[in-house]
Amino acid sequence: MPSFEPVPFRLPAGLVEVLATFGIIAVIGAVTLSIMGASPVAAGLAAFHGTLDGTYEIAGVVALSLPLIIVGFGASICFKGGYYNLGLESQLILGAAAGSIAGYYAGPLWSPFQITLVLVCGGLAGAVVAAVIAWLRVHLNVDEVVSSLLSNYIVILFAIFLATYPFRDESRFNGAMHRILPSARMPTMISGTELTWGVLVVVAVSLVLFWIFHRSKLGQDWALMGRSVTVARSAGIDVKKFGMMIMTSSGFLAGLAGAFMISATQHRYFANLALGLGFDGILIGMIARYRIPAVVFWALAYSWMLLAADGIEQEVGIPSEFAQVVIAIVILGVAVRIGLLQWVRGWRQRWFKSSGTGSLPAMRMFSANREGR
């Protein structure tokens, strides 16, 4: 049905998607707030004052989004490749712990070198955990969904153990590691804010990943793995090695995000740091539908929504979890959008009695679940 095709601009398609999603978020948010007995207008003003009213607030939004962008990449590349690493949460936390250790114990070094060391150590810590899960999946066929979910509890407890016993800062009351050396901290970009020059790291990672996933042969193979392992195998890809690579690189990015948090803002790992951030990254990857530029955008939007919800909590008294509820509802919509569109189209056909059968075969292809399980 050509009449349903959008007008022949290329660029606005993404813009329309963004605006539509934002519109839906705003409507659901306003409705939720009204149900809870708060004025959406007051909440909107509170959200504005908390996040966009001044340099400090805007820098805060960007600073919070940086680790989310990296872990969002981790989730995206993994899901795009057809693997479900749900252990990003704990890989990020172990990365933070490893980065914190490297930032304190590896003597004062030349600052750029030590920051790199912190980031790489964090990334490797995450990569090791993911590699173990991947190995079990690829060679023993242990379902990575369940094993990574279980690994979260084990790895997070292990990170807390590290902070409580061997690497504990004795001067702190609770399980916390030592504050990392000044040479391991990223320099502040705008003084008086939390924004650091770490932005450049994120930009560099984004550009590399953008090139890989949207411009290179590797990215095509990667997407092929996600669509069908059988096809990928017959296209000459070593499926086992590739699967290991997909999982391990997503773990590396999660660990990198954790170490980034340490070097940029937190400066030490302590128990309960960054809880939930890995799952936030998964949601961001899903709402961005695994596209690298979209991950950057939605991570910014997500961190804006989190801080806006904090502002709303302070001024209107609605618990900030309401933002997570709204976001989750929207992402559920995104996850089932193909079926949803099909359903809407079915209704439209019933109402307008238009001819044509829709595009059923194409949709079957999309909804095909993972092969070989």
Partner 1 sequence: MDLIVFITSAALAYAIPIVYAGIGGQISLASGDLNIALEGEMLFGAFVAVAATYFLGSPWLGILCAVIVGAALGLLFGILIVSLKGNVFLVGITYNFLLAALTVLLLGMIFGVRGSFSSPDLIGIPKLPLGTFGDIPFLGSVLSSQTYVAWFLIPVVFLWSYVLRSTPLGLRIRALGDNQEAVRSAGLNVDRMRLGVQIVCGMLCGIAGAQLALGALTLFSAGMSAGRGFVALAIVILVGQRPWMLVLAAFAFGITDGIGIKLQQADVPAQFPQMLPYAVTLLALILVALRGHLRTTRRSR
Q: What tokens were used for 22?
A: 């934002």
**Number of chain positions touching partner 1 (CB under 8 A):** 49
Beta carbon nearer to partner 1, 25 or 160? 160
> Judged by CB under 8 A, which of 180, 286, 296, 306 binds partner 1?
286
Q: How far apart are CA 254 and CA 273, in angstroms?
A: 14
Q: How far apart are CA 180 and CA 87, in angstroms?
A: 26
Q: How many other C-beta atoms can be found within 10 angstroms of the C-beta atom of residue 321?
A: 11
Q: What is the closest distance, in whole angstroms, from the C-beta atom of residue 118 to partner 1 in the complex?
A: 24
Segment contacting partner 1 (CB under 8 A): 50-58, 195-203, 234-242, 280-288? 280-288
- 347 is a contact residue toward partner 1 (CB under 8 A): no
> Judged by CB under 8 A, which of 338, 345, 349, 358 binds partner 1?
338
Q: How far apart are CA 207 and CA 220, in angstroms?
A: 17
- 223 is a contact residue toward partner 1 (CB under 8 A): no
> Judged by CB under 8 A, which of 164, 188, 349, 359 binds partner 1?
164
Segment contacting partner 1 (CB under 8 A): 41-49, 53-61, 144-152, 300-308? 144-152
- 210 is a contact residue toward partner 1 (CB under 8 A): no
H-type helices in the chain, by residue range?
A: 12-35, 40-51, 55-80, 88-105, 111-140, 144-164, 198-215, 217-227, 229-234, 239-261, 277-287, 292-316, 321-335, 337-352, 360-367
Q: How far apart are CA 233 and CA 229, in angstroms?
A: 6
- 65 is a contact residue toward partner 1 (CB under 8 A): no
Q: How far apart are CA 259 and CA 70, in angstroms?
A: 11
Residue appearing with tokens 């705003």 = 26
The number of angstroms, rounded, from the C-alpha of 190 to the middle of its chain's C-alpha atoms is 25
SS3 label, residue 336: coil
- 207 is a contact residue toward partner 1 (CB under 8 A): no
Beta carbon nearer to partner 1, 141 or 220? 141
Beta carbon nearer to partner 1, 42 or 340? 340
Per-residue DSSP letter, 192 = T
Q: What is the closest distance, in whole angstroms, from the C-beta atom of residue 343 to partner 1 in the complex?
A: 7
> Judged by CB under 8 A, which of 27, 157, 204, 365 binds partner 1?
157
* Burial bucket for residue 255 (CB in 10 Å: 0-12, 13-18, 19+): buried
- 297 is a contact residue toward partner 1 (CB under 8 A): no
- Tell which positions 83-102 bind partner 1, by CB under 8 A: 84, 86
Q: Contact residues for partner 1 (CB under 8 A)?
A: 36, 79, 84, 86, 136, 139-143, 145-147, 149-154, 157-158, 160-161, 164-165, 279, 282-283, 286, 318-319, 321-322, 324-325, 328-329, 331-332, 335-336, 338-340, 342-343, 363, 367, 369
